[in-house]
Chain A
Amino acid sequence: MIDIAGILMQNILYVILITLGGVLISWSVHFVPVGGAPAAMAQATGIGTGTVQLAAGAGLTGLVTAGAMMEITSSAALVIAAGAVGAMIMMAVTMIVGTWVYVYGVGCPPASAKVKYDPITKDRQDLYVSQGTEGHGLPTVSFVSGVIGGALGGIGGSLVYYALMSVENGLPLADLVGIASVFAVGIFFVNAVIPSYNIGGTIEGFHDPKFKRFPKAVLASLIATFFCALIGVLAIGGL
């Protein structure tokens, strides 16, 4: 049997880092303009898919870029920055292509139904919202919010991955990369679903009234991730 207390005491810093990463992921989801099925039909503002798919997409891209950076350096700052940039690029590309589809394909202007004026560009919104819809496309504020969300999610995901990779263990590198990725993905999914239940499926970005609910999801993620972090560190540290 493995020495539970010993491993935990030795790696307590990494448990804290993983928990912090999980909390950042949970917070980041609130920034991402998720429209769900209504947005796919251009009847709600945001990207036309679910929270989990978006968060997973951004998170996994961040994980890949962080992993690639980790091949050449062990500097935490560089790895985390690479993860953040990877997730931001993925999120920005998704949103800009989505906007092209909404504007040139569906033929609707990007407009938010939650605010009268775009907080960033000060453009009038409510005049452009089609009747019977909750807005459509991705107005500037949602785009900026989404990129911020991508950055936070990428930082969180790469933090989790970096901490798991740093736990002292006796595994060959290839296996360590495998198990750390699997744990990071598992933690990412748990922390992507918790906030999606908190926001009830759709959110426009940080200007949405639902954004104020984020402390509840952050608290829930804090508790859940802490437990997952204990399990992950024990599993990797015990090998």
Chain B
Amino acid sequence: MSAGGSGAAAEAIPQNNIIAFGVLGGLIGIYGAYFLVGMVGQYMSFIGALGAICGMVWGAAAVRRVASYGLGTGVPSIGMLALGMGVIAATFGLAVGGIAGPVIALVTAAIIGLMIGVLANKVLSMGIPIMEVSMTEIATAGTITIIGLAIAMTGTFDFPVVLSQVISTGYIAVIFIAGGLAILHPFNACLGPDETQDRTLMVGVEKGAIAMIVSGIVATTNPNASGALTILIGIALWYVAFSGFYDRTKRDAYDVVGAGMLPSKEELE
């Protein structure tokens, strides 16, 4: 039962598998894009966006788990919190870490997330048993999303490049909203008594594909990254994910019928 009420959400895929998928997929995507852009060519920058999608799916799964207990306020707040913590951790990690930047960013995010989770339960007395774990997951997932999309836009996570091409130009705001949407929107859109994990996560993939397309468009303005492949793969992924979501909606619905067009004036008389 996961009606945004109280109680743990039923899950077909165990959360630990999703955590592994998010962390490993995210890091492989980030480092894969970083090295392959240097070795193979700038068009490999799309791998960063795939890594970001792993992070978004993980974030959406964590939001689903924690928001099932009922936050007392809208689900979007937790997505904004994820990106707020993520942007602080990602900027810090990339600024001080050099080649180890993404890893430092993830560790920093985990510390901030854990701290906010502990504060939420101990000081604000929210009383959600998985709050600490979930906040850690959400902050880390937000960080992977930000770094992954930044790489898809610039082809590197070298901080001077990211700073001048993503942060100073304001594209960070695009990452903030597109990435945040992929984390907060799936559960917000699907919540209800008949919510199922795979359908919710499929919305996460679909939103991630939109973020990928947007980052591809930004990448076309950048000499070190190539946008064409990112946009094409993004569109293909969006189509697959949206059909997957539609199939699952039909599966979960009692019945799907066409309502027809609205009656015309003559027919009403």
Contact = CB atoms under 8 A, between A and B. Distances in A.
Are A and B co-members of a single complex?
yes
B202 interface: no
B95 A235 contact: yes
B81 A193 contact: yes
A190 B84 contact: yes
A51 B125 CA distance: 19
Contact of B71 (A197, A231, A235): A197
Interface residues of A, number: 46
Interface string B58-97: 0000000000000111101110110111111101100110
A225 B157 CA distance: 26
Interface string B34-53: 00000000000000000000
Contact of A193 (B77, B95, B115, B167): B77
B153 to A, nearest CB: 14
A53 B180 CA distance: 13
Interface string A12-40: 00000000000000000000000011000
Given A179-B167, A223-B119, A2 B78 contact: no
A50 B92 contact: no
Interface in B217-247: none
A175 B124 contact: no
- Prevailing SS type, chain A contact patch: helix
Contacts of B167: 175, 178-179, 182
A193 to B, nearest CB: 4
Contacts of A90: none
Contacts of A189: 80-81, 83-84
Contact of A52 (B76, B86, B88, B123): B76
A192 B81 CA distance: 8
A76 interface: no
Contact of A238 (B89, B96, B170): B96
Contacts of A178: 163, 167-170, 172
A182 B115 contact: no
Contacts of A1: 96
Interface of A: 1-2, 36-37, 50-53, 56, 171, 174-175, 177-179, 182-183, 185-190, 192-194, 196-198, 200-201, 216-217, 219-220, 223-224, 227-228, 231-232, 234-236, 238-239
30 contacts: A50-B74, A50-B77, A52-B81, A174-B164, A175-B163, A178-B167, A178-B170, A178-B172, A182-B91, A185-B84, A186-B85, A186-B86, A193-B78, A193-B80, A193-B81, A194-B120, A196-B73, A197-B124, A201-B72, A201-B74, A220-B120, A223-B115, A223-B123, A234-B92, A234-B96, A235-B91, A235-B92, A236-B95, A239-B95, A239-B159
Given A182-B167, A200-B72, A236-B95, 13 more contacts: A52-B81, A175-B164, A175-B168, A178-B170, A186-B88, A193-B77, A200-B73, A201-B71, A216-B123, A217-B124, A231-B88, A235-B92, A239-B95
Interface of B: 71-74, 76-78, 80-81, 83-89, 91-92, 95-96, 108, 111-112, 115-116, 119-120, 123-126, 159, 163-164, 167-170, 172, 176
